[in-house]
Amino acid sequence: MKVYLLNAPFIKNFVRCGRWQGVSARGKTLYYPIWLTYATGYLEKKGHDVRLVDAIAFEWDLQRVLEDVSEFNPDLVVVDSNFSSLKNDINIANQIKEKTGAVNVIVGPPASQFPNKIIEDGIDIVARFEFEESLNEIAISLESGGDIEEVKGITFRKDNEIITNPDRDFTTSKFLDELPFISEVYKKHLNIKNYFLSHSLYPVVQIFTGRGCPNYCTFCSWPETLMGRKYRVRSVKNVVDEFEYIKNELPEVKEVFIEDDSFTIDKNRIVKFCDELIDRDINIVWSCQSRADLDYPTMNKMKEAGCRLLDVGYESGNNEILVNIKKGTTIEQLMEFTINAKKARLKILADFVIGFPGETKETAQETAKFIKEVKPDLLQVAVATPMPGTEFYKYCANNDFILNKDMGKSIDSRGFQRCVISYPSLNNDEISFYVDKVLKEYYISFAYAKVAFGNITGKNGLYEFKSLITSAKMYLKYMGNNKNDIG
């Protein structure tokens, strides 16, 4: 069957497949369409004729997409979605259906939360949670004239009734090992130079070595809306084989970024992975998401195996807020982690959020002070946004803290975050003000100037410098158009 997978046109540099909220990044980051790419590889492996189009990266408008999809003439069209782009994505999927007559499917986090509403808006099928196997079974059923009522994990309309089939079990480690390398699919369908991570050397590729997160942070979307909490991983050999593929077949790549929520949760697996990289002499720079409970010996081994940076959710500089969001770490642990990471000569991207339950002007100032003590190599500060399906969303909804439940209103016309929550202790304008204030105070400080100088004069300094300049230009443009005057 001919299947067309689309990261639909929307706002410039819009990231649909972020693990939290669909936005345009202030540092010009543009993610690969990760989940669509894995589905593309799986469907091709199953014998389907597949086209993957990233209209965001290609800078295609709707007209260009309609021309392309008409030329490909698919039987099935799959459109990825995010909460903040859902209305746009449904509209485009329906226009493609009108143009081509193809059956359309919506996938992504909203599919598991609002399947009936999406069907009511004219979509043929919604594939909930992980969707590779569901798409394959849909394609097989449609091609053979079979009944999609046997396909688990989907919602659809039959006659005038909306049918919700039973959930599909989450994928297994064996399934993940059998998936084609995502880097191989990137090479075939996309241009890796279109993608940029402000915290990585350019060009970069993003991969997953596992899925599912057993931790219970109240605000994180993917475990609740896409991948679940069941932890499953690829074998170490399979992951290192992909690193070798990247080294040999994509020699222009300067870094591999491991996007797993839980990559550092199993210390033994990390050590085996590092030993295999070293033993096979796969000399390639890599970085990963990490929790702040990683110990020094493991960090040291990671550094020896080529790790450059840890992307870490610090979240707040206040212990009470960390408890409120069930982060499972304390300020004291965060500082110990920071000291150990710097001792291991690993760079840190520290992720903070302003606006979690318990936030006040005083706690926001505590976070600003803590950031100056941490002195991360890179800093990200976000507005707390309650994503449907999460405990944080339920808390905000039950207490009437959400100003607008239309998630399309959680971004502005440029795709940047807009605060949609307001507390008695801190309103939405104040939350936005402190996000910008904390970022600006750190990035224009003498302390950060020293950190930045160290980065660009060290190993990979030229590539660090290029990434810094690209991100800085975008960030200055953002700040120039984002004036907040709350004191």
What is the full per-residue pLDDT of the chain (487 aa) written as tens digits? 999 999 999 999 999 998 777 888 766 789 999 999 999 999 999 999 999 999 999 999 999 999 999 999 999 999 999 999 999 999 999 999 999 999 999 999 999 999 999 999 999 999 999 999 999 999 999 999 888 999 999 999 998 899 999 999 999 999 999 999 999 999 999 999 999 998 999 999 999 999 999 999 999 999 999 999 999 999 999 999 999 999 999 999 999 999 999 899 999 999 999 999 999 999 999 999 999 999 999 999 999 999 999 999 999 999 999 999 999 999 999 999 999 999 999 999 999 999 999 999 999 999 999 999 999 999 999 999 999 999 999 999 999 999 999 999 999 998 999 999 999 999 999 999 999 999 988 888 777 777 776 666 666 666 555 555 554 544 455 455 554 433 3
Tokens of 42: 């799986």
- The CATH code of domain 176-480 reads 3.80.30.20
Residue type, 36: L
Domain assignments of the chain as residue spans, ordered by start: 2-164, 176-480
For the residues of 152-189, what is the DSSP string, one character each? Answer: TTEEEEETTEEEEPPPPPPP-HHHHHHSPPHHHHHHHH
Q: Which residues contact 237 (CB under 8 A, 6 or more apart)?
A: 276
Distances from the Cα of 256 to the Cα of 197, 228, 276, 290, angstroms: 11, 24, 16, 15
Domains 2-164 and 176-480 belong to one CATH topology: no
> Residue holding tokens 């996000």?
435
**Helix, strand, coil abundance in the chain, percent, nearest 5:** 45, 15, 35
Structure tokens at 205: 């590729």
Question: With contact defined as beta carbons under 8 Å apart, do 67 and 96 qualify?
Answer: no
**CA–CA separation, 293 and 440 (whole Å):** 28
Given the candidates 3.40.140.10, 3.90.550.10, 3.40.50.280, 1.10.1060.10, the CATH classification of the domain at 2-164 is 3.40.50.280
